[in-house]
Structure 1
């Protein structure tokens, strides 16, 4: 206003004319002042805009831990298996100390080895660089105008310490009573009946899967040692050496283990009898790998698929993570189908086993019609007419051509995708579990739980991959300890020691008996108040995707004395995780001894480029030093384009 008043006052007054030089100097000074002012104004506006965005709409967060892996990564290492080339991540946040050593690596806790979830090879990863957690954008406006949805990934204030933000998956809504059963989440009705909670959007279901086996990535040393292939042409004849009754079929599919494909053609494709491919779950044990590397003959045994999580498959000098415990029956198989010719009475059949049942999808490639059904001990036999039909629908798998197919059995529902698009079967694809039993137990058929069969069609199958659904572990805080800040004792859904359960994985019936005989609600006589979550108005339940390593609603303490220690009130919600902002870059050059690129440290910035580590000195005291053998940042690097701005499911 002062400048405006001065200009008004001078209006109409006569002033001496300026010389051209004076005018030029004045214009230059004016432009300089205007440019400076514009720059300052731009910076101020930018800060104000950033403040408004951060305060009212969106905010960037860095994920500190791996409780939401494999959806979100905390501090981690990117790993590639030297045997099968499978790429995965392992958590590295537990290398850090606490309190005065927060952000500093504790030397004995430094990660030494990782175990590949695909081939189970254990190898040295000590020199691999560790990266900070994912940087994400959180939409803070979403819950101001609408209600949270089940399965949202949510940032909220930790009930025990509102100054601390947590990020989990929202699984329970206000007014519900929920319970975890065999890895799935159930809503308990007023009549006491349990209703399974399904992931309605396929993108959510897909985001919450964990790899079991990728057939395109076999371990070279296993192949050279003659270790049996997991996928093989099979006939159910009970011959010696069979797995779940399945043994090698020398007549049907032609296996090409170089291209990792299987072909059915000619006489083998004709006739009414379908020819089978079968997956037998043969993950090598530590002892198998020792024998292979020593040039000895391994002794592979088929086992149940358990809740193994590659993110947790690491060890340090003082810690070995207990990584697998419970049988997972919810599976998905994906494959590429190349149909070269269609004959008479053609059919492609995909089968997923879960306990007493075999869930099937039959597709007629001449018409594109797909039928969903199941077969169990209550059915008569293998004839299609004896199967219990669930649903049918037209698909895009019609005629000769190449197709990508996914068939899944998750949350008591079957799903089929052709070329990335879901076939709409509707609610008819949902089912009640076998015998309407509250607990489903594995059988011998779960040792070979996935199969593909065909007849009347020249078909090549490749790109075979098996995933499992998320398994929420039933771990519950002992009420006697909930008022302690560091909660101690907790109950397991089945009180069997890990080593006992793991010893039984090759004997499904024995494993099932151990699990059932020690089940929390039945054998341990624990009251429902311990394992049921009753939510009041505006209260939500939060669980981490990495159930083995997540401090979530199941295990929170209750020093604050809340009515529902496990609940998050609506007022504590910060926002919905929206998309990945800037995952760590991919270093180039300066490879470690193991051939891992880590980039070069920047001279003068050693404290930024290398980790700080706590080491004990000769005097017995702990000292913090820079560890130039453990790099955390290097240049050059390229952006991780595969994950930048990717939506969070």
Structure 2
């Protein structure tokens, strides 16, 4: 018996040789097979509507491919809509797009333009860029909208370089393209977030202005500082809160510090000194530099501090040139004199700068031998804080200054220690130290390694900053609207500005990329003439007197927040009309939402500020019209 050709259906396996005779069954019509193109293949009609191809496997494969192409169903193109390019069709599409955009604006996201500098430097309103010719540093100065040009020019001509400080007016210039005013940042607001979770402290929030929700400034943008069902008191620039109670007597030691998360704190540091701009000791016009060495072995080679001696040595922050205060170069254009002495403009009072205790320091320290050590020292609020990098450890401690009279080793807290890589010759150590919100935080090469929190109450913090004992009886007297016989401790000046020192041992070393910054500072101020601008009950108007203390700034007017009530404040505290001064709500808000003065009710929240999507513009070609978006300023809002 003789075997016939191998039979396959639809396809021939790849292992079959091209010269092997095969039979292939395909679905289709025999009339569509191109017989003339494949003479070596025999095509016949099989049963059940199949077509049978027989011949060498290679030829059958090619014939099958050609047959499938011939038998394929042609693709028909539908006729175009004859009305697609007509005006009614386009108009309908525009209406649909408009409805979708309005729905998104109403319920998902909405854009706003920042008009003022109340949130600077986090968000900038209308401003101008200025540059310090001596340092090369560039910074923004806010512009007073509507101020006469000669007055604005005179104010800007007296501006001080941000890195030199308020004692040296006229050290900042605005030339060329940078002299052109810039519009404020454009932001996007996430409007649905607070439908799914509660607002959180330190978030930047857009809300309806309770004092004037339909006026020229119906929406405000501020940072959320006070939460529902708590009391809040601003002391020495920081926030202290206590739970609300129904008791008449108030426990003043219940007010505890509110600390910012690291990701928020990092965004809120305001630069005070940047060594990359220091090409000559950051010499101020009177010849003083940012740091003062205690011997002649120090030199500044470009932006690098170098020490050549073998003896222990020290660098100290030059408080004669610039103290650590809440001075903000951005506010010069608002009518604040460069040295900070206040001026009244449109109902705002800009008082003189106040000392701040919250300081950040960062530097690369490179010793010449493994015996080198570095000690960071901060003296503030009658306490001394030390961070030491020595051998293979970093350690931190603190003590009250009263112990200095006993001896150099008395009164210290125990060292808190973290183990790191040993000190090595000519190997840089990146050290970062934050003193903020009553906590020391230390990083080594960008990694957090140590924390030293200390939990003073608001009463203790007020006493330490004023260098006097503050008693609960005094605070109760102030709360009742009277002045104690010992005077008002809130109005007493801060006893001493912060002292920063760096001590080194172990021989020569270098210090590079030094950066010093200060924290956000909430001012304690009295109300202004806008606080009682709306009609209200007599008891509410009494709390909103222009001569009275701002909300949450004094024991006589503590911020007491009920359910769904929030306190909002601007980052640029000296130039922000915020929850401290909002005062009486408008009649509409009082009758329909909440009549409580100063607060922002949850129903007035628009959403969380999410990002800067369109910053101020740059000039085309460096000197042309300002039409180029500054893409480097696109950022999330922290």
Q: Is the structural similarity TM-score above 0.5?
A: yes
Please name the residue that 2:414 is paired with.
389
Q: 8 Å contact 1:91–1:312 — kept in the other structure?
A: yes
CA distance in 1, matches of 2:329, 2:422: 34
Match of 1:420 among 437, 443, 446: 446
Please name the residue that 2:235 is paired with.
181
CA distance in 2, matches of 1:361, 1:182: 23
Match of 2:189 among 130, 133, 138: 138
Please name the residue that 1:473 is paired with.
523
**Helix, strand or coil for the counterpart of 1:438?**
helix
The Cα of 1:88 is off from its aligned counterpart by 0.9
Please list, as runs of the form range in 1=range in 2, the aligned pairs for 1:555-566 lying within 5 A after superposition. Answer: 555-558=581-584, 559-560=586-587, 563-566=595-598
The Cα of 1:457 is off from its aligned counterpart by 6.4
Please list, as runs of the form range in 1=range in 2, the aligned pairs for 1:573-592 lying within 5 A after superposition. Answer: 573-589=605-621
Match of 1:363 among 370, 389, 400: 389
Please list, as runs of the form range in 1=range in 2, the aligned pairs for 1:373-522 lying within 5 A after superposition. Answer: 373-374=398-399, 376-379=401-404, 383=408, 387-389=412-414, 391-395=416-420, 399=424, 401-425=427-451, 428-432=452-456, 436=460, 438-441=462-465, 449-456=499-506, 459-477=509-527, 482-484=532-534, 489-491=546-548
CA distance in 2, matches of 1:314, 1:183: 23
Q: Deviations over 1:106-151 (max 9, x none)?
A: 4455343122221234245487111111011111121110011111
CA distance in 2, matches of 1:572, 1:397: 55
Match of 1:336 among 341, 355, 364: 364
Please name the residue that 1:599 is paired with.
624
The Cα of 1:198 is off from its aligned counterpart by 2.9
Q: 8 Å contact 1:211–1:466 — kept in the other structure?
A: yes
Q: 8 Å contact 1:353–1:446 — kept in the other structure?
A: no
Q: 8 Å contact 1:353–1:445 — kept in the other structure?
A: no
Q: 8 Å contact 1:307–1:324 — kept in the other structure?
A: no
The Cα of 1:226 is off from its aligned counterpart by 6.9
The Cα of 1:167 is off from its aligned counterpart by 0.3
Number of equivalenced pairs = 493
The Cα of 1:492 is off from its aligned counterpart by 6.1
TM value normalised by structure 1: 0.67
Q: Deviations over 1:130-186 (max 9, x none)?
A: 111101111112111001111110001111223411100000000011111121111
The Cα of 1:566 is off from its aligned counterpart by 0.9
CA distance in 2, matches of 1:410, 1:131: 33
Q: Highest Rg: 1 or 2?
A: 2
Q: 8 Å contact 2:380–2:497 — kept in the other structure?
A: no
Q: 8 Å contact 2:357–2:498 — kept in the other structure?
A: no
Q: 8 Å contact 1:333–1:408 — kept in the other structure?
A: yes
Report which stretch shifted further, 334-343 or 34-43: 34-43
Q: 8 Å contact 1:478–1:489 — kept in the other structure?
A: yes
CA distance in 2, matches of 1:209, 1:490: 32
The Cα of 1:314 is off from its aligned counterpart by 3.0
Structure 1 spans left out of the alignment, 5+ residues: 1-25, 97-104, 235-248, 269-273, 284-302, 494-519, 522-527, 590-596, 601-633
Please name the residue that 2:264 is paired with.
204
The Cα of 1:306 is off from its aligned counterpart by 2.4
Match of 2:300 among 251, 257, 279: 257
**Helix, strand or coil for the counterpart of 1:282?**
coil
CA distance in 2, matches of 1:396, 1:195: 40
Q: Deviations over 1:372-403 (max 9, x none)?
A: 43452225677567522363333468645333
Are residue 95 (structure 1) and residue 149 (structure 2) matched?
A: no
CA distance in 1, matches of 2:231, 2:460: 21
Root-mean-square deviation (CA, aligned residues, Å) is 3.8
Report which stretch shifted further, 380-389 or 460-469: 380-389
The Cα of 1:311 is off from its aligned counterpart by 0.6
The Cα of 1:82 is off from its aligned counterpart by 2.1
Q: 8 Å contact 1:361–1:371 — kept in the other structure?
A: yes
Q: 8 Å contact 1:83–1:220 — kept in the other structure?
A: no
Please name the residue that 2:478 is paired with.
none
TM value normalised by structure 2: 0.68
CA distance in 2, matches of 1:277, 1:58: 51
Are residue 86 (structure 1) and residue 140 (structure 2) matched?
A: no
Q: Deviations over 1:508-543 (max 9, x none)?
A: xxxxxxxxxxxx96xxxxxx3x43111010100001
The Cα of 1:581 is off from its aligned counterpart by 0.5
Structure 2 spans left out of the alignment, 5+ residues: 1-75, 246-250, 338-342, 468-493, 536-540
**Helix, strand or coil for the counterpart of 2:101?**
helix
Please name the residue that 2:331 is paired with.
312
Q: Deviations over 1:184-241 (max 9, x none)?
A: 111135533243433331121232222323343348798497702221322xxxxxxx
